[in-house]
Structure 1
């Protein structure tokens, strides 16, 4: 299968790093100077396990990664240091992983296009040992399209939702009673007009482009109450809205089936506030966050604000990657690749955003970000640097401070955390 994945080739092909990073037998760098222990909760039941996935040698077309599979680490609650535990290697390019709500199952997509004769990617279900965090493969099913980029679990716990980036489709995979997966109950194939490579508000000096050759779904996830399912299509610059029939596993278009974003902006990832009334949508190409009111009863969206996730003094190429919201809904965080920064936004009373801070990721091509379960640390998977960096998170004011800790792991792109049973 011949494909052109402009964004992914820009991300990886231009960054031909040297030898693969390998897991050290020793804990990650443990030198922490002048750290403020304002939020530390060093005691408590269970260990904190961090899973890291990414690109392996067998990955997206034209891309070789340095990862070995899904690596697991134990996190030190006081410092955030990650100590290697194990690596599950019988999987290709697990570039996105997610844990079930009860943390008994982990689901990992494989960002490939040769799982079957149709040229699909796949999703693997794992059982998780609650005491050790060890992974046991249960089954593998087609993702319903080529080169999947994102999976999430519907709040009902009945379905895994999958976005197939190159395949131009989204799929619904049923979760069986034992946590394994069934074949897709629905695959929606998306079409639309070709969009421009760059948005009209492309940052000054930005030569990076997102692939607008066709439909490229980059994220699919449900609203907090599970009433609606949304998908960001970075190729068609649209946000799709469906209802999910929990009995049949079929996606039913909402009254307004999609919303058109700024042409060329490439909507990538989104987050909701807890009430599901505010939607923060991150656009990859122009590094903007689009803030919208969301009606949880009708699925209607009303744009309130478009704000850039780069400081006014930045000039050059950048592609936004990940967006997170704090537990109290008071801060929003955005990672910027190429610019290698994290933007910290304060959430105003009306839900709009104000840029408060911008920090260097201390590595190259920070992609996925994730808070640990205590919310005392924010971790960043730096795809080109083959390392995970971390920041101490002040839960009172939302600010971040670099821990000076590096954890080597080949081509990391995704993170997930588990608390083991004592």
Structure 2
């Protein structure tokens, strides 16, 4: 427990920032604290950005932010890295890659070891590799163009890559392709060249539209969230071998069979005992219990504001909090996970207004 200089109890907080698409007056990056003892959200600062900040991730003490190209110019869009300390984001480097808009990205290590950043361009169905030199983004060194289409003639007219990451037990890059109903795997050469591994492509149900794949901490279970049919697929995983063991709805569909919904995000909690899902359309935060074999059991849901699109999970001081960004609702709000009755999610009534929040990212250092 922390105390201030006058003997009173001092707040224990964690920092995060929210990317806002907004409009010319409001778009940018908003920084917040969350009180990890009661879930209160505290607005701190607002940073103006040149265009729409889309996605953000951390590697070491740097935060990378991708930007949407609003003008069509080759100087728009791209990705920036920032030195992130306290409440400050200081621009360190930028690569535009001829105006590409990246909706997801990751590095191949931490601040000391990373020498490449991998980005997916949803709109052009490309994967870009950007080199890092002296801890700064240097230039784009390779591209890989995906081809093909899926069952839905509109939503799957192109490959539409949505998520990129590394396998937990293999030095392979994986890319989730919403338009192909696939997770594709790539070997990465030292010079950044990507080679598609056709042998191990993970094929999902036609029309499901996978958007994201995550692994548990042991690396032996994979969870694929399918945006278009609002399901979660659970796989046993071992060295590029995926065995499907469950497909479960991301919300109770029987309550409203005609509802149009898309699954926005999934996250495991700190000890992999529960999984959270947010739904856009159903506008809900759903709680699942993770069983001993990795399968999921639906528990309950809480209503959110309109169009939840991203979330963060904090487990501090014995409390677990879920922070949800609701794009259409224009709000960032917090929820509490409690162990009562086998696990429940509760509203905290703490929220902050942000115009079109789209991505939440923890600060590298606490405020």
TM-score (norm 1): 0.76
The corresponding residue for 1:301 is 242
Q: Structure 1: 5+ residue runs without aligned partners?
A: 1-41, 59-65, 198-209
Greater strand share, structure number? 2
Query: What is the CA deviation profile of residues 322-344 of structure 1, one whole-angstrom value per residue up to 9, with x for unaligned ones?
Result: 01011212211111001101221
2-side partners of 1:228 and 1:346: how far apart?
29
1-side partners of 2:97 and 2:219: how far apart?
27
2-side partners of 1:152 and 1:379: how far apart?
22
Q: Alpha carbons of 1:403 and 1:76: their partners in 2 closer, same or farther (altered >3 Å)?
A: same
Q: How many residues are aligned here?
A: 351
1:288 and 2:231 aligned: yes
2-side partners of 1:176 and 1:81: how far apart?
39
Kept after mapping to 2: 8 A contact 1:364/1:384: yes
Residues 206-245 of structure 1 mapped to structure 2, 5 A cutoff? 211-225=155-169, 227-245=171-189
The corresponding residue for 2:18 is 52
2-side partners of 1:303 and 1:120: how far apart?
41
Query: What is the CA deviation profile of residues 198-248 of structure 1, one whole-angstrom value per residue up to 9, with x for unaligned ones?
Result: xxxxxxxxxxxx721212111111123562221111112111112333x32
2-side partners of 1:253 and 1:274: how far apart?
26
Q: Alpha carbons of 1:145 and 1:274: their partners in 2 closer, same or farther (altered >3 Å)?
A: farther
2-side partners of 1:419 and 1:306: how far apart?
35
Q: Structure 2: 5+ residue runs without aligned partners?
A: 1-8
The corresponding residue for 1:34 is none
Q: Alpha carbons of 1:164 and 1:80: their partners in 2 closer, same or farther (altered >3 Å)?
A: same
Kept after mapping to 2: 8 A contact 1:229/1:243: yes
Query: What is the CA deviation profile of residues 92-122 of structure 1, one whole-angstrom value per residue up to 9, with x for unaligned ones?
Result: 111211122x3x11101112265644x9831
TM-score (norm 2): 0.87
Query: What is the CA deviation profile of residues 134-154 of structure 1, one whole-angstrom value per residue up to 9, with x for unaligned ones?
Result: 011122213577432112233
The corresponding residue for 1:177 is 134
2-side partners of 1:392 and 1:250: how far apart?
44
Q: CA RMSD in A?
A: 2.5
Q: Alpha carbons of 1:337 and 1:237: their partners in 2 closer, same or farther (altered >3 Å)?
A: same
Kept after mapping to 2: 8 A contact 1:223/1:229: yes
2-side partners of 1:282 and 1:166: how far apart?
20
The corresponding residue for 1:123 is 79
